[in-house]
Structure 1
């Protein structure tokens, strides 16, 4: 039979044992925590979130062509944004509306892709868009994007909607003013892009739709062909892009398909001109182009995969049968090679941008990309974002 004194001693010993184990983890566990903290000092990093709502009715072929041709211009411009010393993340969502091929009960609206940082997926979905119809309900597509997308609660995030079309802003059962009220509650700025005459856009309430959230109203010539200016640096950048692709190591169930998708989106960019392929190559050299869901280099760098846990069947053919040491060495070599190539592309792009700027001084750019980047920069300043 235990005495009260012995019971007290045993209880204190047990409490001490639990506390000791809680505060004295294994050295490697403690080291892992330190490394993780140092590697990711800003867990709540800022995001630039852009929802692009495109009218895909019959009259909007030119708008869709501009979006396809100018996606990489927009991404590249955003890649230079900074918040303090940090480079924000980018997420893009895409909706189509006004297309008679869509469900009328849902307002002829479709979420093409939710917020995503996968630039290849965004490009793929953008190139899948076709026009047909229709009935364009601006208030409803804005409200749908506000309801469906994860806008988050970080006050430092830059949260923007860009809606482009050419029918009256008042159409449909959802009042655009109610949608704007909801946007203000979520700290989302609505920017309206009227495809047509500036005065006509004002008379059909596109300007008012932007004003309610302190957004920008812009009118563009959506049928204007995108003009890409060639530079003396394009060939070198495209050669480097092919070398860059070889540094990606597809793994898991998605690996092979995503490596193929990367090449397909390179070709899609090329279909809009040689210089547009260059712009995509520049985007791929930026910090926005991350593929940890299928690329072993990015996955290991982001602590999403541990080499020791990889199964043989998930590995690409070049790594099958290799030891952990050999796999680590190969991944590290690809990581270093990629960093060198990306730096070379960025350096060439500085020269390319300067050259194009000189060539384009006298040209009036009335395009989707120009309208979007101008609005983004102006609104970013209010949240203390800067550009390099």
Structure 2
């Protein structure tokens, strides 16, 4: 393992262990601390209404396809469903933390299946560490604007809501960014999903939504030598024992060697299977591990399949294969723009047996770009959930991911 990977492993272990000791750590009963794979959308929505002001969006042509968004949590998609109030709830929600009504030191892990963050996390251009502070957990702090401060609701309709946030950030090197964030969440119609797929979805349940995320430079020019920002979109989902993340990648001669599977120590072979153009990553919420793909081999799509519930989740995102992607390792970096474009994380117990989740994550990032005042950095992400029989979902998996669900199901046995 390289020194960079060892450093990242050690700092992340500290982060998770520390998070496990604060107020939102899990007890032995998941029902009173977090959402679970047994919750319905109605159950999660009723809970959210007790502690937040969720905005419920729905598909223009299917009222059973619903998405719950909270402006006070940075316009975050908390959860969604393809089956109305009695349908499956896809997003992981930290019940205990929301119920407490408090924010926690370093990070308030409220959950949610699509949230807005900014990069880089570590390095000389980090916006999570103050200037000249050591890269240790005690000094790490998620910026308030993406952790504890609300976004302003600009407008809302049946299927769409738009949000805005003005803020100032200073990175580790002392560069100040005056920014305006624009974010919208729009539920897509079933017809538009069929058009994208060029497939009929008559007997398949579906909910799909698109987020448009923009950061506008409202201050001095952004320069690579003094630090750039990137948009980081993270989704936390409810796992089952039979959930597998599926990530296609470019089949280049050295592609497999570029896949980072050592964030928390190397992923066990039985939990990560890498084929010529796709990898399968166990996402059962039982073993803490993470993978990452650089932009040179990433494809603008990833997904997961839960054969227990018959749910196929797809995430598509903007990708620039030649772009500069920020490096978030907690150290002064030789290559601050050689980071990942796509990641997936599987939650699991830490050394003392406690666990934040269980959940798993699908993450994408925008490239970092130099911007003059008034210029915009953008990142679009789409999340699709399909429910049906394996035979019904098979053509969707082939169209988006280039894989057969029969192969995925066989890996889970």
Is the shorter-chain TM-score for this pair beyond 0.5, marking a shared fold?
no
Short-chain TM bin: under 0.3
More helix by share: 1
More strand by share: 2
TM-score, normalisation: structure 2: 0.22
TM-score, normalisation: structure 1: 0.23
Q: Which structure is larger by alpha-carbon Rg, 1 or 2?
A: 1
